[in-house]
Structure 1
Amino acid sequence: MEESPFQLAYGIEAMMPIEVNKESLRVRFYDEVGNIRAQTEELDILPEVREQARIKEEALKQRMALRYNKKAIKRSFATNDLPLIRNDIGTQKSSERKLAANWKGSYKITKFLEKDYYKVSDLKGNELPRVFLKGDFNEAP
């Protein structure tokens, strides 16, 4: 049985206003004593229902991550590699804009920093003033 977010948060099923105003089967056959009993039973199993919903959510996230990682291109660069750098980083000339090349370079990776960050210099040895992420690079053909 699929639980609504309202039921997971408050432990009861919500009624739409139209069901309260017009006499629906739900309103017509309302039994207060039976309702209170059913509500206490549902509140007793609510932690289990929430746990099942959490497990389903984690399984879905795991499947999504596996599907993404299957298609993702794994790239790693080492010191002295010569990658290209994305051209949309930094300033561009107004004449280039849309027709500009997507990648520029070659540049030389001079230092690997933590968590996929790199220091880069041009081929003459002049270090660029910023740090680059691994996603900013493309392997030179």
Structure 2
Amino acid sequence: MAKYLRVIKGILTQFDEWYAEHVPREENTTEDALSQLASSEIEKYPRSIYFQVLKTPTVHANGQAEVANRIILDGLKNRVERSRNTWVDELLPILWAYHTTYKVITEATPFMLTYRAEVVVPLEITHGSPRIEAYEPETNNEGMRLTLDLIDEVRDETNARNAEHQQRASLYCNRRVKERIFQQGDFVLRKIEASGVRERGKLALNWEGPYKVQKTLGWGFYKLETMNGDEVPCTWHASNLNVHYV
């Protein structure tokens, strides 16, 4: 904007006469902001863009997206086993099958949790079914509006079943998990699969380090530091750590 203002001032010197019309500030707030920016010495400010490269993830997902992606990939592998280049054509049928498949945990399909109605599969349209034969547009639209008003009830029931299943799974897992506790100053190894600092493979090492426990944060999470005293990014759970015997 500063360069633009200098160009405009240079052009104005070529005219014998010119005038500026004042517009109230409350009527052109955008132009007022631009004028303040143009009149400032913007060139004095640095034009560098600072960024930081994160080699390790700062947020760890709960695994639900990974599970959904794995199911979709498994379906694609079964459909495009011979020709890998046709996966784009098979993606929509796989997504349709995933959204209309009954889930044991939620006792519903993803389509049901979105619209509170069972999906009409193509086979019902081609071969006919009672609900296709009894279909009336006006009645169906009114019923869908009433159904969407009650969608929260279905989702609440699904969340309750999901929470109950997670609680049972947690109790089952906790009975078989031996708690791993570290103290500040202990030497530990970090799982390469979680850190991602080295290439993984069948013959690669499973652990890397050693590191030193810098701080205990509770609930099995720890802050680590290298042997030189440099802090390791992120917090690390005890499930990704192992004892290092010096």
Identity %: 21
What residue number does 2:165 align with?
60
When normalised by structure 2's length, the TM-score is: 0.37
Query: Match of 1:19, as an amino acid?
Result: E
Query: Residue in 1 aligned with 2:120?
Result: 15
Structure 1 residue runs without a partner (length 5+): 92-96, 122-126
Q: Secondary structure at the match of 1:116?
A: strand
- Show the counterpart of 1:48: 153
1:111 and 2:236 are equivalent in the alignment: no
Q: What residue identity is the alignment partner of 2:189? A: I
Distance 2:169 2:189 in 1: 29
Structure 2 distance, partners of 1:87, 1:5, is 35
Q: Which has the larger radius of gyration?
A: 2
- The aligned counterpart of 1:85 is 189
Residues 16-65 of structure 1: CA deviation (Å, up to 9, x unaligned): 1221122333333x163775675566445432222101111222223233
Residue of 181, 201, 210 corresponding to 1:76: 181
Within 2, Cα distance between the matches of 1:103 and 1:84? 9
1:84–1:139 CA contact under 8 A, matched in 2: yes
- After TM superposition, the structure 1 = structure 2 runs for residues 99-138 of structure 1, keeping only pairs within 5 Å, are 109=212, 111-112=214-215, 114=217, 115-119=221-225, 121=227, 127=228, 129-131=230-232, 133=236, 134=238, 135-138=240-243
TM-score, normalised via structure 1 length: 0.57
Structure with greater contact order relative to length (CA < 8 Å, sep ≥ 6): 1
Q: What is the aligned residue count?
A: 126
Shift of 1:67: 2.8
Greater helix percent: which structure?
Answer: 2
User: How many angstroms does 1:15 deviate by?
Assistant: 0.8
Q: Which has the higher strand share?
A: 1
